[in-house]
Amino acid sequence: MLLLTSLLRLAIVAPPPPRLDIYYPTYPLPHRTVGKVNVVGVAFSSAGIAEVSWETGGGDSGPAVLACDASSVYCGWETGVLALAPGSTVVTIRARDASGAQLRSDITIESRGFPINHRVDCSRPTSGDGSVALPFNTLQEAVDASYSGDTIQINGGVCNGYLPYGITHGLTIQGDPESPPAVLKIEGGHIATVTPDLVSFKHLRMSRPHAYSPGFQPMFISGFYPIPRPVGARTLLEDVQGATLYGESLPSYSVRRCHDVLIHPSSGGTSIYADIEDSTGVRLSGFPYGGVVDIRIRNSEVTEFQLDNHGRFSIDIERSLIRSGQLLLAQNYVNTDELQLTLRDSIVEATALQVNRLVHPCHGLCELTAASLDVIIERNEFTDSHIGLDLRNTAMRERPGSQRLLVQNNIMVRSGVALELSQRDATVGGVTQALIRHNTFIGAPVAVGTTAAMLRSAPPDWSLEIANNIIAGSGTAISVVSPQGLVAAHILGNDLHGNGVDIEHDGTAVVEGNIGDDPRFRERLTGDYRLRSDSPCIDAALDIASPPSDDAAGSVRPLDGDGDGAGRADIGAFESPARPQALHMPRRSLKRIRGS
């Protein structure tokens, strides 16, 4: 009995044995590929993993790429793409831990030397062999018969896209390019891609029974292990209508020429990566908790954008049209990571672009550091819209991180910028810098408005620079409401013309070099807010730190717009073209030139 008790105690305290697991390719189907494969898995050892390598029956070998935790106890690994000869190949994975222990796992992979185009016609009453003459009548049969690298083409009918085991290898599923898009109806779940290989969907229309389904749910490898995300491992959607893209584990999407696409990251720990180009009806909506949302949008139309997260945002939008009613990025709770928003060269119509950082009170003694917030908005055209930045640091003993808002070179028609800053119970004040420079505001109720408040807290470091803007025809041009003098405001070199109120502030702001002249736009009625050659704003901007190097049209700043030989930036969003320097010659020289 004593011996049994001793063995039991030893079993309890003894570390688990080392393991080397292959996660992909894996169950339930044997892996078959067209000439290549990327093997992915996990190595574990309490002594720490030293190395992982691979070799094939053909004699090829090499090191695996590792992604380990801090102690190297858990290591995700991948071989990278291996080229395989036709036939059956055994891939051997070897690992060695820091104690010298050796681990080994083998997997057999069938390879075909050429891809096959499988045909599907879901309107057929009976199924064939996947040929042109005798197509399959279900998508599942085609997937079961395919190798990684094959193409499945749907030529007719409405196919059920729900696959119980998901898509376990790289495929292209497409409609007939010469016909209207093929229709996929999802019944009972999602299209789940359980593979690090590229899975492509092309020329398809999703039949969506309700708002957030059907959709694509790449579930790559979920779980605790730190699996590396393979380079280029994406789900590609091209010419797809009505898709919902979910986030689960580490999905990564490329979206090209699609319409009515909903990106919906949700649930705990969700991370989602999306690269969207040349698409319309793009919607982003979700509440990921503690994950990463990394989205890039180019040349597209955004019609909904509301994300609320406790994690890290990185949103980059260029050359796009936004008319969503509200573009909302919100971070809630303490211990947030970072929020980065870049909006450039886009058109924003009837949209409230709102960035919120609302840190809820922390219960108990917690000293949590919030990371950075960085918002860059430049070279855009806003109409009937506004930019809002709401920063409320209310967590007990929280130490807010740095926060920056840069708004420059924008055309703001009936649009403005509103900042709300507040802080309570923080042991160290946050650093917030708002730079609003070289914009042209026309007809805004309030062009730039700021309110600030602080309760029982260390003084924050809040600074506001409003410089070299044109603000014309607005109700209130600039308003800084900070009863305790919390915001170090500098109002410099603006042209404030025809406003109901030019500047209102608490008496602590630095106000220098502002003018009140008609800016003399080329054609205000048609929306041409470039400056005429006789504008008082040409070469009139005050010097500021780190001025923009271009203007709203992408032209270089500064240029010598008045021809005096000294290049100086213009006030407002546009820089006037350089003028030739005036030629000054003595009268005798002029007579000599004329021959008199």
Provide mean pLDDT across the span 114-123: 92
Alpha-carbon gap, residue 146 to 195, rounded angstroms: 14
pLDDT band at 364 (very low <50, low <70, confident <90, very high): very low
* Residue 205 confidence (pLDDT) above 80: yes
Sequence length of the chain is: 596
- C-alpha radius of gyration, the chain, whole number: 31
What pLDDT does 369 receive? 43
Q: Is the model more confident about 419 or about 465?
A: 465
Provide mean pLDDT across the span 198-210: 79
What pLDDT does 445 receive? 93
Strand extents, DSSP E, 333-400: 339-344, 347-349, 352-359, 373-378, 381-383, 386-393
* Residue 208 confidence (pLDDT) above 80: no
Alpha-carbon gap, residue 390 to 379, rounded angstroms: 22
**Dihedral in degrees, nearest 10, Cα atoms 442, 443, 446, 447:** 0
The amino acid occupying position 563 is: G
Task: Tell me which residue of 544, 549, 573, 572 sits closest to 559, measured CA to CA.
Answer: 549
Q: Cα-flanking dihedrals φ and ψ of residue 136, to 5°?
A: -65, 155
Please tell me what DSSP assigns to residue 525.
G
Alpha-carbon gap, residue 438 to 414, rounded angstroms: 17
Task: Tell me which residue of 330, 334, 331 sits closest to 363, measured CA to CA.
Answer: 334
Q: What is the pLDDT of residues 438-477, one digit of tens each?
A: 999 999 999 999 887 765 555 567 889 999 999 999 999 9
Q: Is 146 helix (H, G, I), strand (E, B) or coil?
A: coil
pTM over cut 0.85: no
Alpha-carbon gap, residue 416 to 346, rounded angstroms: 16
**Dihedral in degrees, nearest 10, Cα atoms 46, 48, 50, 51:** 60
pLDDT band at 394 (very low <50, low <70, confident <90, very high): very low
pLDDT band at 502 (very low <50, low <70, confident <90, very high): very high
**Structure-token match 């505001």, residue found:** 441
What pLDDT does 580 receive? 66
Percent of the chain with pLDDT over 90: 40
Alpha-carbon gap, residue 528 to 536, rounded angstroms: 17
* Residue 468 near residue 442 (C-beta atoms within 8 A): no
Q: Is the model more confident about 456 or about 96?
A: 96
Q: What structural domains and CATH numbers belong to the chain?
A: 16-111 (2.60.40.650)
Q: What is the pLDDT of residues 269-284, one digit of tens each?
A: 567 788 999 999 998 8
Average pLDDT, the chain: 80
Q: Cα-flanking dihedrals φ and ψ of residue 326, to 5°?
A: -150, 125
Tokens of 205: 């229309």
Alpha-carbon gap, residue 163 to 588, rounded angstroms: 92
Task: Tell me which residue of 161, 225, 227 sits closest to 199, measured CA to CA.
Answer: 161
Q: Is the model more confident about 61 or about 253?
A: 61
* Residue 209 confidence (pLDDT) above 60: no
Residue 221 CB neighbour total at 10 angstroms: 20
What pLDDT does 151 receive? 95
**Structure-token match 């059920």, residue found:** 160
What pLDDT does 245 receive? 80
Give how far the C-alpha of residue 93 lies from the chain's centroid of Cα atoms, to the nearest Å.
35
Q: What is the pLDDT of residues 282-331, one digit of tens each?
A: 988 876 666 678 899 999 999 988 877 656 788 999 999 998 877 877 76
